[in-house]
Amino acid sequence: MIRDNELIMLILGIGALVLTLIYKAELKRIFAWKNLMASFYFLLAAWVFTVAEGFLLPYYLNLAEHLCYTASAVIMAVWCFRASFSHKRIVF
């Protein structure tokens, strides 16, 4: 069963993905941009899994969803740590 809010999250997330692809050149100039993007992509993957679990493998996809949340949160925390303690500018 698909929940509306999960679908909205996914659609908005895909919108954000499109934005990152369009402005990839500019976003590359963000400090540790791969780190930040990885956090976002894990989050997006979690949204994909939460929609997908309505159709198949609900247990595993649910588990994958939450693992992705955790990975995204940890990576984001790392990015924040690096950004806070780096001497480099956040945007080059």
Partner 1 sequence: MKGIAYLDLVSFLASLAGIAFLLFTGKYRIKTDIKLLILSILFLLTLYYLSLFIEWYGITDTLDPYEDLIGALIPMMWIFLFYAFVQKISNIDLQESKKSLDMALKGSRAGTWEWNMQTGEVIYNRRWAEIIGYTLEELEPLNITILKNLSHPEDLKRSDELLQKLFKGEIDFYECEVRLKHKNGNWVWIMDRGMVIEQDKNGNPMRMAGTHIEINRQKQVEQELKEQIEQKLAINKKYLEQNKELSESLERIQSINQELMKAKEKAEESDRLKSAFLANMSHEIRTPMNGILGFAALLNKPDLKGDKQLEYIHLIQQSGTRMLNIINELIDISKIEAGQLDIRLENTDIVDLLHGLYLFYKPEAEKRGLSLLYSSSLEGNENHIVTDKTKLYEILSNLITNALKYTEKGRIDFGCLRVGDTVEFFVRDTGIGISPDYHEKIFERFRQVNIDNPSAKEGSGLGLTISRAYVEKLGGKISVRSKLGEGSVFTFTLPYHKPISLKQPQKTDPVTFGSDFGKITMLVADDDDIGFLYLHELLFLNNVIVLRARDGNNAVELCRKYTEIKMVFMDIKMPVMNGLEAIRQIRQFRRDLPIILQTAYASTENKEEALKAGGNEYLSKPIRQEDLYTVLGKYLV
Query: Which residues are at the interface with partner 1 (CB under 8 A)?
Result: 3-6, 8-9, 12-13, 15-16, 19-20, 23, 26-27, 29-30, 40, 43, 47, 62-63, 66-67, 69-70, 72-74, 76-77, 79-81, 83-91
Q: Between residues 29 and 55, which has the closer beta carbon with respect to partner 1?
A: 29
Q: At what angle do helices 33-52 and 4-22 cross, to 10 degrees?
A: 150
Nearer to partner 1 among residue 8 and residue 57 (C-beta) = 8
- The CA distances from residue 72 to 4, 9, 29, 42, 55, in Å, are 23, 15, 21, 5, 24
Residue 69: what are its φ and ψ, rounded to 5°?
Answer: -60, -45
Closest CB 68 distance from partner 1, rounded Å: 9
Q: Which is nearer to partner 1, 13 or 52 (CB)?
A: 13
What's the distance, Cα to Cα, between the start and end of the chain in Å? 45
Shortest distance, position 63 Cβ to partner 1, whole Å: 7
Shortest Cβ distance from residue 55 to partner 1 (Å)?
A: 19
∠ CA 76-84-24, rounded to 5°: 55
